[in-house]
DNA sequence: GCAAACTTTCAGTAATTACTGAAAATATAA
DNA sequence: TTATATTTTCAGTAATTACTGAAAGTTTGC
């Protein structure tokens, strides 16, 4: 193994550990790290070999990356295999992830908060008053977060970042 | 069970489900939801009873919430028990969470990227060039994210939000 | 000091999540 | 078609994470 291969393996492995602490499947994060730093599209077999994982595992996590929009597939003529390639532009990656997390995490939270609010009648006890007040504050905050993420995920690449940086 | 108790239980339960999908321990999220919407500080026993969990589980997750800075303890004279109370200001909560996630998630990522970069020699192969280019781009992005989160976590309550909102 | 009230720890177990590998399904080319 | 290459599924199992409950530890008041 060359010195470079060691560095890359360490990076892939540790990116997996980090992904794990971010609530992302370790293998999915490792595959993403491998694809992100590869100059070529890679086949399922390549990934199985590099990460020493089963076909089923590779397939599942590759599909998941595709469903997140972080990876897309390509083919070569005369070759039946699918090859996978990751988005390499970090700002685009950020927008994609914002958009997915909004859909998967923010929207359900907002739904829950709105549903909880609906049932409010004339609050009587101290407990009821505190509950609905807090729900109200959470909803206001989450709905701002939601609209910011919506804008981020729709924003033109490289348009928003300079603005954000000027804030401070 | 009153109508209100049903609504609150549903909220607590679902907040746990959401927490889980955000990579947070379900019980920890439920305890947080319960404390956040309670007008009074609550004892370990209160939480055990409400969520029907063991003392060990309640204790562990309460400590974890305290270590995140989302919950603090208080006592009453003549009563030996500790009571727990959650921060209710959503913007403060956001700052606290930003600060902790920065420490736990962003900083290790930045360290990894900087360590990976260090080993760079004169890149020769296409693979090496692509690898170090991507590492460089990731580091630039993550370090911007890091400094934004640092500022957010230090920002005066209610000072930043109006600015952010004007961006769009 | 001792006893009572309360908190923390942790070994054992339950629940959940991730992975394998082979079979089934699908796609392509001849 | 039919054979071959490739992808997907999924039952079984492994690995990880979460939880319980009782014992050990700590704090407080007498």
Q: Which residues contact A141 (CB under 8 A, 6 or more apart)?
A: B90, B91, B94
Does residue B5 register a pLDDT over 90? Answer: yes
Inform me whether the C-beta atom of residue B1 falls under 8 Å from chain A C-beta atoms: no
Which token pair is B50?
């409400």
Identify which of B153, B33, B60, B104 has the alpha carbon closest to the alpha carbon of residue A23. Answer: B104
Q: Which of A141-150, B128-137, B149-158 ranks highest by mean pLDDT?
A: B128-137
The pLDDT confidence band at residue A133, using thresholds 50, 70 and 90, is: very high
Q: Is the CB of B57 under 7 A from strand D?
A: yes
CB within 8 Å of chain B, chain A residues 73-102: 88-91, 94
Does residue B65 register a pLDDT over 90? Answer: yes
Does residue B25 register a pLDDT over 90? Answer: yes
∠ Cα B107 B104 A58 (to 5°): 90
CB within 8 Å of chain B, chain A residues 23-62: 23-24, 36-39
Chain B residues in contact with A164 by the CB 8 A cut-off are 148, 167
Helix (H, G, I), strand (E, B) or coil at B130: helix
Average pLDDT over residues A94-104: 92
C1' (D1) to CA (A15) span, angstroms: 49
Which of A102-106, A110-114, B68-72 is the least confident region? A102-106
According to the model, what pLDDT value does residue B153 have?
A: 84
Positive or negative CA dihedral for A18, A21, A27, A28?
Answer: negative
* Mean pLDDT for chain A overall: 92
The pLDDT confidence band at residue A167, using thresholds 50, 70 and 90, is: low
In the sheet where A71-74 sits, what is the strand order? A42-43, A83-86, A71-74
Q: Which nucleotide is nearest to B56 (CA to C1')?
A: D20
By CA distance, what is B19's nearest residue in A?
A: A105
Helix ranges restricted to H, A102-125: 107-118
CB within 8 Å of chain B, chain A residues 127-166: 127-131, 134-135, 137-138, 140-141, 144, 147-148, 151, 160-161, 163-165
Does residue A158 register a pLDDT over 70? Answer: no
Count of CB atoms situated within 10 Å of the CB of B30: 25
Cβ contact B21–A108 (<8 Å): yes
Chain B residues in contact with A138 by the CB 8 A cut-off are 36, 90
C1' (C16) to CA (B152) span, angstroms: 35
According to the model, what pLDDT value does residue B136 have?
A: 97
Cβ contact A116–B11 (<8 Å): yes
CA distance B37 to B85: 10
Cβ contact B116–A21 (<8 Å): no
According to the model, what pLDDT value does residue A159 have?
A: 66
CA dihedral B152, B156, B158, B159 (to 10 degrees): -80
CA distance B160 to B152: 8
According to the model, what pLDDT value does residue B160 have?
A: 67
According to the model, what pLDDT value does residue A40 have?
A: 96
CA dihedral A156, A158, A159, A163 (to 10 degrees): 140
- Cα B159 to chain centroid distance, Å, stands at 21
For B108-136, write each residue's pLDDT tens digit.
999 999 999 998 888 689 999 999 999 99
* Mean pLDDT for chain B overall: 92
According to the model, what pLDDT value does residue B157 have?
A: 61
Share of chain A above pLDDT 90, in %: 77
DSSP H or E run through A83: strand A83-86
The pLDDT confidence band at residue B164, using thresholds 50, 70 and 90, is: low
Kind of pairing between the strands at A71-74 and A83-86? antiparallel
CA dihedral B136, B142, B146, B149 (to 10 degrees): 160
Chain B residues in contact with A7 by the CB 8 A cut-off are 116, 119, 131
- Residue recorded with tokens 């974890």: B64
Q: Tell me how far CA of residue A78 lies from CA of A38, A45, A66, B137, B155, in angstroms.
A: 22, 17, 23, 34, 58
Kind of pairing between the strands at A83-86 and A42-43? antiparallel
Which of A22, A36, A151 is facing B134, going by the closest CB pair? A36
Inform me whether the C-beta atom of residue B118 falls under 8 Å from chain A C-beta atoms: no
According to the model, what pLDDT value does residue A154 have?
A: 84
DSSP A103: I
The pLDDT confidence band at residue A121, using thresholds 50, 70 and 90, is: confident
CA distance B127 to B140: 20
Positive or negative CA dihedral for B49, B52, B54, B58?
Answer: negative
CA distance A31 to B162: 39
For A1-21, write each residue's pLDDT tens digit.
899 999 999 999 999 999 988
C1' (D17) to CA (B46) span, angstroms: 25
For A17-65, write each residue's pLDDT tens digit.
999 888 899 999 999 999 999 999 999 999 999 999 999 999 999 999 9
DSSP H or E run through B98: helix B90-101
């Amino acid at each position: 193994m060359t010195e470079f291969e060691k560095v890359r393996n360490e990076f892939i492995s540790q990116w997996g550990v980090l992904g794990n602490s971010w609530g992302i499947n370790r293998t999915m994060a490792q595959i993403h790290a491998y694809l992100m730093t590869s100059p070529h599209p890679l086949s399922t077999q390549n990934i199985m070999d590099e990460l020493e994982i089963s076909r089923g595992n590779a397939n599942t996590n590759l599909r998941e990356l595709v469903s997140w929009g972080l990876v897309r597939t390509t083919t070569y003529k005369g070759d039946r295999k699918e090859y996978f390639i990751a988005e390499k532009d970090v700002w685009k990656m950020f927008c994609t992830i914002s958009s997915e997390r909004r859909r998967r995490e923010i929207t359900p939270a907002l739904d829950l908060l709105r549903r909880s609010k609906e049932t409010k009648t004339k609050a009587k006890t101290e407990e009821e008053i505190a509950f609905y007040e807090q729900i109200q504050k959470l909803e206001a905050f989450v709905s701002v977060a939601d609209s910011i993420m919506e804008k981020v995920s729709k924003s033109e690449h490289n348009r928003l970042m300079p603005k954000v940086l000027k804030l401070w």
